[in-house]
Amino acid sequence: MMPRAMAAGAALLVTSLALASPAEEVKTRLLERYPATRVDAVSDTPIPGLFEVAMGRKIVYVDATGQYFLFGRIFDLPGNRDLTEDRLRAIAKVDVTQIPAVSILEQGEGSRIVYVFSDPACGHCQTLEQTLAGIPDLHVRTVLLPFQPDSAELARNIWCAPDRWAAWTAWMRQGVRPERAPEACQVDALLTRNKALAEQFGIRATPALVAPDGRVSLGALAAPELSAWLMPGETPVTQVIPEVVQ
């Protein structure tokens, strides 16, 4: 005879399985079949038997068995909507409140705010700085993100300067190299924190712009495109096919 406690546990398990939604069952199945693959969430789609799988900032589709994957987009033709784009835009947004004030080079008091993840040795970042200088009513919040081999020393010299923003703009916009920072001024912890924050946001290249509403744009936009992007609205998201590991 099954002990009462075991019987109760078995009944609870059966009840839990019975209450699980099809999407939850698919997620469980995926985690069992592909334990090395990141699976953040599984949700229904308008197509019966097809489920959306969120993997970080990427989306794939899978059938109920977890065996067949679809890498692509779903379009609602009568509604003229790219449903995958809608979802990518939603999961691509970042929470700017997680960017600590102590990590920011701040300049301007304009009504249009933009966060810029920038590498002092990045040519495209320097191009973007020239563009930012010509856009009115702007409030720029720059996060130093040294990816290049000689970027860390440049970042330290800029951050440790008496006037950080002046040192930054002199270098990025005019090519005037910052003076060597005092040995007592160390920024390793700051730069490590910035890199961790960028990784959390899915930012792996510079320049990267982040709007107050969480939208992200990679690359140096020209002035007209940047001005339009600064207005709240919809922007396309580029998706990279994720890796599925068994």
Long-range pairs for 14-22: beta carbons < 8 A, 24 or more residues apart:
22/51, 22/64
The pLDDT tens digits of the residues spanning 53-68 come to: 999 888 999 999 999 9
227 token code pair: 């001005």
Percent of the chain exceeding pLDDT 70 equals: 87
The CA-atom distances, in angstroms, between 45 and each of 63, 78, 238 are 11, 16, 20
The confidence score (pLDDT) of residue 15 equals 54
The pLDDT tens digits of the residues spanning 122-160 come to: 999 999 999 999 999 999 999 999 998 889 999 999 999
- CATH no. for 4-92: 3.10.450.70
Assess contact for 120 and 145: CB atoms under 8 A.
no
* Average pLDDT along the chain: 87
DSSP states of 164-218 as a string? HHHHHHHHHHH--PPPPPPTT---HHHHHHHHHHHHHHT--SS-EEE-TTS-EEE
The confidence score (pLDDT) of residue 220 equals 92
- The pTM (predicted TM-score) of the whole model is 0.69
Rounded-to-integer distance, Cα 147 and Cα 132, Å = 21
Q: Where in the chain is the domain with CATH 3.10.450.70?
A: 4-92
> What is the CA 46 to chain-centroid distance, rounded?
26
Helix axes 151-159, 188-201, angle to 10 degrees: 110
- Give the model's confidence band at 245: pLDDT under 50 very low, under 70 low, under 90 confident, else very high: low
The confidence score (pLDDT) of residue 4 equals 60
Assess contact for 158 and 129: CB atoms under 8 A.
no
Work out the average pLDDT over 15-38. 86
Beta bridge partners of 114: 140
Cβ-Cβ contacts under 8 Å for 157 (sequence gap 6 or more): 167, 177, 178, 179, 180, 181
* CATH architecture of the domain covering 96-229: 3-Layer(aba) Sandwich (3.40)
Residue 5 in this model has a pLDDT that exceeds 60: no
The confidence score (pLDDT) of residue 118 equals 97
Rounded-to-integer distance, Cα 165 and Cα 242, Å = 38
The pLDDT tens digits of the residues spanning 67-103 come to: 999 999 999 999 899 999 888 888 878 899 999 998 9
Strand ranges, E, within the chain: 41-44, 50-55, 58-63, 69-70, 75-76, 81-82, 104-107, 112-118, 138-144, 208-210, 216-218
| Chain length of the chain | 246
- Give the model's confidence band at 18: pLDDT under 50 very low, under 70 low, under 90 confident, else very high: low
Residue 237 in this model has a pLDDT that exceeds 90: no
Q: Where in the chain is the domain with CATH 3.40.30.10?
A: 96-229
Say if strands 112-118 and 138-144 run parallel, antiparallel, or are unpaired.
Answer: parallel
